[in-house]
Every structure is written in C-alpha cells, then in structure tokens.
Amino acid sequence: MAPLPLSLTLDLIARAHPDPVADDATALHLLSDAELLPGLEGAIADKPGPAGEIWVFAYGSLMWKPEFAFREQRLGTVRGFHRRFCLLQRRFRGTPERPGFVLALDRGGVCKGVAFRLDGDDPVATLMPVWRREMKGNGYEARWLAVDTASGPVHALAFVVNRLGDRYAGRLTEAEIAEKIAAACGHLGPSAEYLLRTAEACAALGIRDRHLVALQALVAERLRGCGAVRPVADAVAERRPG
C-alpha cells in the first residue's frame, strides 16, 4: 500500500519559523551521567532474554536518528502502549513560553516501530548514549517490553512516558497538540520538524499511524495560516535534527 502524501513540508515549516532560537539552559534540568548511571545499571540487571543481547525499541526520533551502532533492525509491534505526542518539550524544540511536544509511549493500544539490536560487548557503554539521550530530561520511564517481529519476539528497552512528571500533558485533543507543535521552536529547530521527520520515517517503513497523519495535516493547516510568512531557503533543513 502506497504511503499517504504528507501535507506538512520542510519549506512550510521554514517559512513559519525562519529565525534561529537561542538555547536556554534553565528551561530544562538535565541529569548528569553520574546521576543516570544507577538507573541504567538497574535496567541492565533486570534485562530479560539472552545474556549479551540488547535490543532497543524505536518509535519516534530514534527511528530516523538512532545515534548508536546496531547489528540488526526489525520492524516490530509493542502491545499495551501506543505512540502519542504527550510529552512537553520546553527546550531543544520548544521554549517555556511556547513548549512543543515529543513522542512517548502511553498506555493502551499498539505501536509499530523498529527494534534495534545494539552492537557492543559492554552493556553500560553500549546503552549509555541512548539512555543519556532519552532519560536526561526526566520525561520517560525505561521498561523492557516484548516486541513481536516477523523473525520472532524479542525483549527491547523502550521509553514510556512518566505520567507523574511535570512534562506529561495528559490526553489533549489532536487540535490542541497541533496548536502547540505549530507554534513551538527551540534551538534544535521547530517542533513541527520532529513531527515531519517521524511521519516520513514511518511512511518509509510502511507504518500507518493515524495520530501522526492527522497531526501533520493539522499542523500544516495552522502553518499555512501564520501571518508574516516569508520564504527561507531550507532554514529548517540546516538545523541539527533531534
């Protein structure tokens, strides 16, 4: 089945967000590696499955920017959780005044994504890059989840939303989420770019996600209605994605 065409484009995003945004280090406290290490070691100690085999389940930016070496990747399905823009982003792709959203796994449903088998013999050294990236902002909980793949089930480390954290937005409507995504931009670029790149990654993998398709259309509609829109040559594409 051919992927649905996307209404949201980099050009549309760049026209709405032409100017860079300065980083505000006070907008989000980031945990140090020393603070992260006990949690990582505990997760490794609780790992199910064969010793020496580490899988990570990607459902958002890890699909298009994994930033870790891997031996194998498989399309897979997690049951009991779904992909949703429910985690506020007050830094990186948003500001405290105009927070954006990033994806998390939230309760219920199913989620199709990519299971990566990581490459490395030292579990701590192998997992620290992805653990640092996902856990330093205190928005996620790490869990080992069963992932069904065409080659058999695996247990993969997945990052589930921390429902008790102050970044969890709860069950907002897609229209409310789209309003925030359309308006938000941080020093890594607009929140809408994160949405677009994830929607593109899912389309390329043959993953049909109604939430992403609906949101990209709603965000595109809002960006087209922005005032003072002026053309900018691939300003968003030049920003570092993340």
d(CA 124, CA 129): 9
d(CA 24, CA 134): 19
3-state secondary structure of 154: strand
d(CA 157, CA 147): 10
**14 in Cβ contact with 197 (< 8 Å):** no
Active-site entry in 72, 134, 193, 221:
134
Residue of 224, 226, 200, 222 whose CA lies nearest to 213: 200
d(CA 66, CA 60): 10
C-beta atoms surrounding 190 within 10 Å: 28
d(CA 154, CA 69): 18
Concatenating the DSSP letter of every residue in 84-150 gives: EEEEEESSSS--SSS-EEEEEEEEEEEEEEEEEEE--S-HHHHHHHHHHHHHTTS-EEEEEEEEEET
C-beta atoms surrounding 225 within 10 Å: 10
Catalytic residue check, 176: no
Catalytic residues: 134
